[in-house]
């Protein structure tokens, strides 16, 4: 039995490894982040991602027509260290924040009864109920048209349309990597998102989130630059300064991070194909868990049988030893012959 289960386990592990390799070569980093968001059951972000995977999602109805997306999915970065630190700086709530164009769109997300309770038959709560994943916590919504945009110059002649912010130091400071708002890369599609006043995502959303946050290689580089900080700084080795006099200590490795794409952020795999493969891999992991549980139980049963058999053997050996000894009556009847 255990040999059969071990063989089955190895087969499942091979299928999972094969899927991981296939996904690793084909999946877009954005889809990995999307899948992580979907795992955050009970959040508005997870509901929106699930809606995009179902035919029931019909753009143009109620709140969904002016939804721009989830913060974590609206930009990419060049390496994992930067992604991790920007995500830690923002925090999970901001990473999962829903971005829409107008306040009117935000008003369609939910409404309330006369006692101030959320009406679960309306807006995103109604959609969540249909999916069987009710929203169980508060969620921020960012309205692009309500953001006070960056009002300086923009480098319109470069593809990423970065902000022409003043250099924070009189000379290049050791370890300085740039300003966070300009280290976010936008896809061609997201570069086309414009507010009613003509501002893009970098000038509104990401300037609102990061301001003039500076990025450094190390904590020591960051500390050396403290006199030049305006909106704080992060270092790629884990340091965070969140404004005047506030440090964020400790360590964390967030689940939700910006997609890491060293090259152009436009090249993504077919989301439907990616979604199917990720679901298949998760199903295989469930099978593996079941097989491992069966192996564990079979091993426990085997150990119990071994112990039971050993116990019986000990009793048998004890009985055999007793039976091999001459009885008392036989000893009494035995008299050696005198010579």
**What pLDDT, on the 0 to 100 scale, is given for residue 336?**
56
**What pLDDT, on the 0 to 100 scale, is given for residue 62?**
54
Fold of 29-258: Alpha-Beta Plaits (3.30.70)
More confident residue, 25 or 230: 230
Give the Å distances, CA to CA, from 199 to 69, 144, 194, 266. Answer: 17, 9, 5, 21
Q: Residue 264 above 70 pLDDT? A: no
Q: Residue 22 above 70 pLDDT? A: no
Give the Å distances, CA to CA, from 304 to 157, 178, 307, 311, 313. Answer: 75, 64, 5, 10, 14
- The pTM score is 0.67
pLDDT band at 206, cuts 50/70/90?
very high
How many Cα neighbours within 13 Å face the side chain of 81?
12
The least confident of 52-61, 117-126, 143-152, 203-212 is: 52-61
**Are 81 and 236 spatial neighbours (Cβ–Cβ below 8 Å)?**
yes
**What pLDDT, on the 0 to 100 scale, is given for residue 10?**
81
User: Between the ranges 173-187, 238-252, 276-290, where is the mean pLDDT highest?
Assistant: 173-187
pLDDT above 90: percentage of residues in the chain: 32
194 three-class SS? strand
**What pLDDT, on the 0 to 100 scale, is given for residue 211?**
94
Residues near 75 by Cβ (< 8 Å), separated by ≥ 6?
184, 185, 186, 190, 201, 206, 258
**What pLDDT, on the 0 to 100 scale, is given for residue 72?**
95
**Are 207 and 163 spatial neighbours (Cβ–Cβ below 8 Å)?**
yes
| Longest CA pairwise span in the chain (Å) | 132
**Are 45 and 37 spatial neighbours (Cβ–Cβ below 8 Å)?**
yes
pLDDT band at 59, cuts 50/70/90?
very low
Output the CA torsion sign for 259, 260, 266, 269: negative
**What pLDDT, on the 0 to 100 scale, is given for residue 127?**
82
CA dihedral angle for residue 310, residue 316, residue 318, residue 319, rounded to 10 degrees: 170
Mean pLDDT in the chain?
Answer: 82
In tens, the pLDDT along 304-333 reads 888 888 888 888 877 877 777 766 555 455
**What pLDDT, on the 0 to 100 scale, is given for residue 60?**
46
Q: Residue 86 above 60 pLDDT? A: yes
**What pLDDT, on the 0 to 100 scale, is given for residue 246?**
83
pLDDT band at 157, cuts 50/70/90?
confident
User: Between the ranges 1-5, 29-33, 119-123, 263-267, where is the mean pLDDT highest?
Assistant: 29-33
Q: Residue 244 above 80 pLDDT? A: no
CA dihedral angle for residue 278, residue 282, residue 285, residue 286, rounded to 10 degrees: -160
Q: Residue 58 above 70 pLDDT? A: no
* Token pair belonging to 135: 């929203």
- Rounded to a whole number of angstroms, the CA Rg of the chain reads 32
More confident residue, 34 or 14: 34
């Amino acid at each position: 039995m255990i040999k059969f289960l071990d063989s089955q386990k190895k087969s499942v592990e091979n299928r999972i490894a094969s899927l991981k390799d296939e996904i690793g070569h084909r999946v877009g980093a954005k889809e990995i982040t999307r899948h992580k968001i979907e795992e955050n059951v009970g959040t508005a972000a997870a509901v929106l991602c699930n809606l995009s995977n179902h035919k029931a999602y019909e753009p143009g109805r109620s709140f969904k027509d002016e939804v721009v997306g989830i913060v974590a999915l609206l930009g990419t970065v060049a390496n994992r260290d930067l992604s991790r630190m920007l995500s830690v700086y923002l925090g999970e709530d901001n990473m999962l924040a829903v971005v829409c164009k107008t306040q009117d769109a935000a008003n369609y997300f939910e409404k309330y009864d006369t006692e101030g309770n959320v009406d679960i038959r309306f807006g995103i709560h109604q959609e969540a109920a249909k999916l069987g994943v009710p929203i169980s916590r508060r969620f921020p919504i960012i309205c692009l048209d309500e953001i006070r945009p960056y009002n300086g110059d923009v480098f319109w002649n470069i593809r990423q349309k970065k902000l022409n912010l003043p250099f924070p130091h009189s000379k290049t400071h050791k370890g300085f990597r740039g300003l966070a708002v300009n280290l976010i890369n936008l896809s061609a599609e997201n570069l086309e998102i414009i507010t009613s006043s003509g501002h893009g995502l970098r000038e509104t959303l990401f300037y609102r989130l990061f301001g003039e946050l500076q990025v450094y290689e190390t904590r020591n580089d960051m500390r050396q630059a403290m006199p030049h900080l305006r909106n704080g700084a992060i270092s790629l080795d884990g340091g965070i300064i969140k404004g005047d006099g506030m440090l964020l200590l400790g360590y964390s490795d967030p689940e939700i991070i910006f997609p890491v794409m060293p090259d152009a952020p436009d090249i993504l795999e077919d989301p439907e194909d990616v979604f199917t493969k990720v679901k298949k891999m998760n199903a295989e992991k469930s099978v593996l868990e079941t097989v491992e549980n069966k192996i564990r139980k079979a091993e426990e049963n085997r150990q119990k049988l071994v112990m039971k058999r050993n116990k019986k053997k000990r009793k048998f050996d004890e009985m055999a030893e007793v039976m091999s000894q001459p009885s008392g009556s036989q000893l009494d009847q035995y008299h050696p012959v005198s010579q």
